[in-house]
Amino acid sequence: MKRFLRWCGILGVGALGGCGGPATEPSPPVGDVRISTDRAQYSLARDSFAVVTLTNESNRPLHLPLSGYIAYQRLLDRVWSDAFSWFTSDGIGRSFTLPAFSSRQDQLEIWAYLAGQPGTYRFQYSIYRTPRLGVAVSLEKRVSAPFIVTP
């Protein structure tokens, strides 16, 4: 009798499990981001700040390290230099969160941040899929379009 009741219970749970709603479309991949600058060209003589916007276009949060989440790269001889950052964030914890479907803006002083050097640059964010910073978003999604800095 116990065996019969056990089988009835298994069949009942299986039948209830099949009564869900329609299947949903898969969610967008984690890490879909857009990085944009407020201009395509800046002047060291006339412009003070570059405004960089990071937009999380996925339905899941993204995570940025408190140790420094934005850097720049300079194009030298058709090769991007190593990423360089001159500031770090301050806070408690390993990372902070950029919620799903949200944006943040960073206002960076051009003269100080880009070391006062004319050239072609791009901004690079450190963006991760997990709060413990275990899985990075691919590099091509973490960089801005190139921009020009003139004297």
| pLDDT tens readout for residues 37-87 | 999 999 999 999 999 999 999 999 999 998 889 999 999 999 999 998 876
Strand residues in 57-89 grouped as ranges (E) = 62-65, 70-76, 79-80
- Whole-Å CA distances, 46 to 22, 23, 25, 34, 74: 57, 55, 49, 27, 20
Q: How far apart are alpha carbons 44 and 9 in whole angstroms?
A: 74
Query: What CATH number does domain 28-140 carry, 1.10.3470, 2.60.40, 1.20.1070, 1.10.287?
Result: 2.60.40
pTM of the model: 0.74
The token pair that represents 136 in the structure block: 């990075």
Residue 115 has pLDDT above 90, yes or no: no
- Whole-Å CA distances, 11 to 16, 20, 116: 9, 16, 72
Q: How far apart are alpha carbons 55 and 53 in whole angstroms?
A: 6
